[in-house]
Structures are given as structure tokens and as C-alpha cells.
Amino acid sequence: MIIYPAIDIKGGRCVRLTQGRADAETVYAEDPALVAEQFKGAGSAWVHVVDLDGAFTGEPKNLDVVERILKVGLKVQLGGGLRTRATVDRALTLGVTRVVIGTRAAESEGFISELVAAYGEKIAVGIDAKGGKVAVKGWVDTTEVTALGMARRMDALGVRTLIHTDVGTDGMLTGPNLGAQEAMLNSVESGVIASGGVSVREDIVRLCDLARIHQNLDGVIVGKALYEGRVNLQDLLRLAQL
């Protein structure tokens, strides 16, 4: 299982939002690239980056910051505002390893089919769930589409990686919604990256146990718990390799 330390960018800075609310922002660093260097120093091979301005506005706003993060030498998984072929092309041309499509995936299966045909495993779909329903546009709107229904459709389209975020636990430091994650794992053959709620080391232990049962649990995204010093990245990386 891969640990994906997270960097959320808003206004060029490294921030975290509570449950995705723009009015619940905490700034952790002025330069996200320095945070990426710390992650690399701890032994991470990946970083999960979200352009929050892009998620809210519909087009990437912080690609210059992403470029600086790329120079650190980590594999970058990038989401936020990637809703056209042109923006996806641009991100991948910069050197991003995997792009995450969220809002547009909920709107257009044809768009995802086109991207999968062109880029294969470089395309991931983000499924952000509020009460089991898909949330879009930076989690501002909630659709009537169920998270599991969307996951099955993306799986059928050949999407290799799904990022399943439980919005209710994101940034709350209350522990992941293991029941929702297991339901997702049971519903698809695609690899699943769990996101939301990790607060202590034991949460990663439980997710590692889940990964032994469900081989399609490919990883977990860890954000606020790292920034608040509740978990140690080196320790989590060791746990995930056991």
C-alpha cells in the first residue's frame, strides 16, 4: 500500500480545509515545494497535490507551484480543475505522473473514455462522497449520483485508479470511514486510494489490515494529521511496507 502525503494549494500556499470548506482554511506553509522536499526527505516517492483554486473555479490556477513541486523529484498525483482535454494535456506535459478527474467524470463518461484511451493508467477518477452521494465543484455541490454507482461505471470504462474521499471525515481527524471504503473495494476491480479522516497511526494499521483482505486497496492519502504532527511520515511509510 502506498502512502500519499498531501499538499493542497490555495493562493500559492500550502493549506488544509476542513471538510473542503473554503472558509475553514489553515495555512501550513508559504512554499508548497519546501513541504514536498520534506516529504521526499522522509522517504516518500509520491505526493498527492490538489489545486483548490482550480477545484473551485474549474481550471488550474497553481500550475507554476506544481512545476516547483515536480522539480523536487517526487511522483505527483494532481487534481483540481482538470475539466478539459487541454488542461489534462498540459498537466501531463509538465511531468505529472497521474491526473485526477473529479467533477468532469461525474458529468461525462465520454470524456473519461477519451482520456483512458489516450493516457491509460495516468488517469485517475476522484469520487468524493457526502452521505454516499457524489460531491463536485470543490465539494460545493452534491449530486444525486451514488458514489458506488459512479465507481462501477468508471471501473467498467477501464479507469485503473479511483480516489475515494469521504467528505464527512476529511480534515476532521476522526478516523477514516472504513465501512464506506470497504463497500467501495467490494464494488470494483479498479485500484482504490482511500482518503479522509486519518488521524493517528492506528488508522493506517487498520487500513493496512484492510489492504491484506482487499488487494485493490492501493493506497491512502494523509494530510492534516501530518501537518498537525499526529503521525510521522517515515513511520507510516514503514508500516505500509510490512
Distance CA 72, CA 12 (A): 17
Which of 23, 53, 64, 128 is the catalytic position? 128
Residues above pLDDT 90, as percent of the chain: 83
How confident is the model at residue 23, as a pLDDT? 75
CATH classification code of 2-241: 3.20.20.70
Residue 20: pLDDT above 70?
A: no
Residue 63: how many CB atoms within 10 A of its CB? 20
For residue 16, what pLDDT band results from cuts at 50, 70 and 90? confident
Tell me if residue 8 is catalytic.
yes
pTM (predicted TM-score): 0.94
Distances (CA, A) of 237 to 36, 50, 208, 215: 15, 21, 11, 18
Residues above pLDDT 70, as percent of the chain: 95
Average pLDDT across the chain, whole number: 93
How confident is the model at residue 193, as a pLDDT? 98
Distance CA 236, CA 234 (A): 6
How confident is the model at residue 242, as a pLDDT? 79
Distances (CA, A) of 22 to 55, 62, 130, 189: 11, 16, 16, 34
Which of 8, 53, 155, 166 is the catalytic position? 8
Distance CA 217, CA 100 (A): 17
For residue 139, what pLDDT band results from cuts at 50, 70 and 90? low
Higher pLDDT, 124 or 171: 124
Count of alpha carbons within 13 angstroms of residue 56, beta-carbon side: 14
Higher pLDDT, 55 or 115: 115
At 89-131, the pLDDT tens digits run 999 999 999 999 998 999 999 999 999 999 999 999 999 998 8
Nearest partner of 80 among 64, 56, 98, judged by Cα: 56
Compute CA 232 distance to the chain's CA centroid, rounded to the nearest angstrom. 19
C-alpha cell at 61: 490556477
Tell me if residue 203 is catalytic.
no
At 32-49, the pLDDT tens digits run 999 999 999 999 999 999
Residue 140: pLDDT above 80?
A: no
Listed by start position, the domains of the chain span 2-241
Residue 19: pLDDT above 70?
A: no
How confident is the model at residue 172, as a pLDDT? 61
Judged by DSSP in three states, 130 sits in: strand
